[in-house]
Amino acid sequence: MDLAIKLIVLLPLLAAAIAGLFCRVIGDRPAQIVTCAALLIAAALSVFVFVRIGFGPESGKLFVVKLFTWIDSGTFNVDWALRVDTLTAVMLIVVTVVSSMVHVYSIGYMAEDTSIARFMAYLSLFTFFMLMLVTSDNLVQLFFGWEGVGLASYLLIGFWYDKPSANAAAMKAFIVNRIGDFGFALGIFAVWMLSGSVGFEEIFGKAPQMAQMRIQFLGMDLPALETACLLLFVGAMGKSAQLGLHTWLPDAMEGPTPVSALIHAATMVTAGVFMVCRLSPLFELAPIALMVVTIIGAATAFFAATVGLTQFDIKRVVAYSTCSQLGYMFFACGVGAYSAAMFHLMTHAFFKALLFLGSGSVINCLHHEQDMRNMGGVKEKAPQTFILMWVGTLALSGIGVPFIFGNGVGFAGFYSKDIMLESAYGVHTTVGVIAYWLGVVAAFMTAFYSTRLMFMTFYGKYRGDHHTWDHAHESPSVMLIPLYVLGIGAALSGMVAYDWFVGHDWHAFWGHAIAVKSTEEVLHHAHEVPLWVKLAPLAFAIAGILLSYYYYIVRTDMPARTVKAFPGLHALFFNKWYFDEIYDAVFVKPALAIGRVLWKKGDGAVIDGLGPDNIAARAQDMAGVLSRFQSGYLYHYAFAMLVGVAGLVTYFMLSVR
């Protein structure tokens, strides 16, 4: 078991090192084979670990594999250890399965790229950092993985470094995440100050005492644990693109499509949700922080869905869907349904990776066309992609048939999205009810824009260049096989895993990997909500699909008429609620102006003018003058000494008088 855990984490690092450092020696094809093989082995081992911890003799147990002592400074000691419990095992499955499929898919998608070995190395490095994050046994190790995925995302989003928009998107992602990470670091410092430790077991053991403490922060006397949890959540907002720190996520589409699938589906953006669930024993003792988590999550789910209604870039539509679905996960955490949030994290990884890679298949089919206004009728050229994209769309929309065979029959999102909404309503709090209704309305919009993507892309007549259409083709098998694997997960994962995550077996499955008391109470109430609460999300989703069909198949003039009828609302949604423009006016332009003044006036005029440049120039001039006195003739030096002595004698004679 210990060996399997070590191999899962270290194989991607080894593959990244081989592909990245020796690609010029071994070539592109061996680099692809090494990275794909390492991830496929890691995925197989993750399944083994998941089965052993979830259902085997070690069910519900905690494994801690110590590798070495990392920091030993006075009383501060940090071990580099791999912590594996049910929560980690779920994340191992999600990360390695999706990442391995992305690796295989990239062989076909990036076939024409001249730097594919470097790309594969970056993918494996990204996966290693994410695995380090989810297996961390303390906050410092967690922060290492946290920052590592930020670095790797910068490398991947800006992979096409000769493309200015990709460089700008990579910088934006890196900088926005640094804002969130500053709050996260402060939260870690606060927890260490309160508990005297960064190890999870020690922190959780002292959580009740921490809840009674006060802390002085920015001159205010505040509840210590509430403050620490809020600061930690700021980090989650940045990494998981919640409202306010979400602006980097859509721009991350400038990277290659496999990057979008990896970042948006299973790795970086889910880190914030994982962190809140990992630290749920702290959060459940911080009700104000949980209230903030609920409000931010619900607002993000609604906001991102409104923007997704109006976008035309096929990848950006799916990107805003990711932002919205992460909001669902956070408000589930906020009401205490941690296992429900992880359930949706798992199902979402499958159908969102499927949608991103399916979008990449469409882009590959149409020779890098991404604007849905230039698509149409693509099902004729890419029938397998068409079917698989419908599987992902129905899973995202949460479509199923309730109440038959116990929990109903449906696609993955049908189970996970509904239990989150039922949990929000079941807690019977004001923020819970608000989250429920915002989530239901967002479900309507999600179904609308998801099927809008399908209708604009695959139905009707092709609206692009006829030369592109003539050469359009289905993707190769190396790209389609990962789609089928993810399609199976999008279709069946909710049905298979329902009882493990939120059904009758959830307690035995999860053990003490999450806050048990809170989750148990919330799930109990969720299963007892009124019938209309259970049916409303499905009804709204079906209504969204029917309206989309009417708009984009039956009456294709309706979208333009609606825009004309509501120009202000459309402009608000299309321009992403003007967040980028507001941030540009409030933060970016003033920062550039200040920087320009400091550069021109401060650095140029003052520092360079009066400082190094001026002093160096004067010193050089003086050296030139003094060098003239160094003739090398003895009588010149004797004459200078004689003049000096005469001067001194004259000075003393005048002084005496």
Three-state SS string over 514-566 comes to CCHHHHHHHHHHHCCCCHHHHHHHHHHHHHHHHHHHHHHHHCCCHHHHHHHHC
Alpha-carbon dihedral of residues 366, 319, 450, 464, nearest 10 degrees?
-20
CB 335 within 8 A of CB 436: no
pLDDT digits (tens, 9 = 90+) for 113-159: 888 999 999 999 999 999 999 999 999 999 999 999 999 999 999 99
Give the residue from 420, 475, 481, 501 showing the smallest Cα distance to 94.
501
Give the residue from 488, 261, 315 showing the smallest Cα distance to 391.
488
Report the pLDDT value the prediction gives residue 328, as an integer from 0 to 100. Answer: 96
398 has pLDDT over 80: yes
pLDDT digits (tens, 9 = 90+) for 486-524: 999 999 999 999 999 998 888 888 888 888 888 889 999
Using a 10 angstrom Cβ sphere, with 0-12 exposed, 13-18 middle and 19 or more buried, the burial of residue 429 is middle
pLDDT digits (tens, 9 = 90+) for 408-425: 899 999 999 999 999 999
Please give the DSSP secondary-structure letter assigned to residue 375. Answer: -
- What band does 242 get if pLDDT is binned at 50, 70 and 90? very high
CB 108 within 8 A of CB 476: yes
pLDDT digits (tens, 9 = 90+) for 516-546: 888 889 999 999 999 999 999 999 999 999 9
Cα separation, 323 vs 341, whole angstroms? 14
Q: Considering only 40-54, 173-187, 570-584, 639-653, which range has the smallest mean pLDDT?
A: 639-653
- Six-digit token pair at 113? 């790229």
Report the pLDDT value the prediction gives residue 233, as an integer from 0 to 100. Answer: 96
The b/e string for 497-528 (b: 16+ C-beta within 10 A; e otherwise) is: bbebbbbeebeebbbebbbbebbeebbebbee
Cα separations in angstroms, 609 against 212, 317, 592, 597, 622: 57, 52, 22, 15, 18
Give the residue from 375, 383, 361, 379 showing the smallest Cα distance to 462.
375
Cα separation, 348 vs 363, whole angstroms? 22
CB 447 within 8 A of CB 542: yes
Residue with tokens 């499905």: 538
Give the residue from 71, 215, 61 showing the smallest Cα distance to 144.
71
- Six-digit token pair at 520? 């148990």
- What band does 190 get if pLDDT is binned at 50, 70 and 90? very high
CB 118 within 8 A of CB 20: yes
Task: State what percent of residues in the chain have pLDDT above 90.
Answer: 72
- Six-digit token pair at 75? 């009383």
CA 457 to chain CA mean position, Å: 27
Please give the DSSP secondary-structure letter assigned to residue 405. Answer: T
613 has pLDDT over 70: no
For 31-81, give the DSSP string.
Answer: HHHHHHHHHHHHHHHHHHHHHHHHTSTTTT--EEEEEEEEEEETTEEEEEE
- What band does 611 get if pLDDT is binned at 50, 70 and 90? low
Report the pLDDT value the prediction gives residue 650, as an integer from 0 to 100. Answer: 86
Q: What are phi and psi of 67, to 5 degrees?
A: -95, -50
**Amino acid identity for residue 446 in this structure:** T
The residues with which 222 forms a beta bridge, in sequence order, are 215
Mean pLDDT across the chain, nearest whole number?
A: 91
Cα separations in angstroms, 584 against 158, 247, 558, 579: 21, 11, 34, 8
- What band does 433 get if pLDDT is binned at 50, 70 and 90? very high
CA 145 to chain CA mean position, Å: 12
607 has pLDDT over 90: no
Find the angle CA(395)-CA(400)-CA(404) to the nearest 5 degrees: 145
The neighbour count for residue 380, using CB atoms within 10 Å, is 12
657 has pLDDT over 60: no
**3-state secondary structure (DSSP) of residue 609:** helix
**3-state secondary structure (DSSP) of residue 196:** coil
Q: What residue ranges in 158-309 does DSSP mark as E strands?
A: 214-217, 220-223
- What band does 656 get if pLDDT is binned at 50, 70 and 90? low
Report the pLDDT value the prediction gives residue 567, as an integer from 0 to 100. Answer: 94
pTM (global) more than 0.95: no
The neighbour count for residue 542, using CB atoms within 10 Å, is 15
Q: What are phi and psi of 22, to 5 degrees?
A: -120, 20
Cα separations in angstroms, 141 against 70, 138, 179, 238, 291: 9, 6, 20, 19, 28
- Six-digit token pair at 249? 């996520």
Please give the DSSP secondary-structure letter assigned to residue 270. Answer: G
- Six-digit token pair at 216? 């002085």
Give the residue from 118, 182, 174 showing the smallest Cα distance to 148.
174
Report the pLDDT value the prediction gives residue 77, as an integer from 0 to 100. Answer: 85
- What band does 610 get if pLDDT is binned at 50, 70 and 90? low
Biggest CA pair distance of the chain = 121
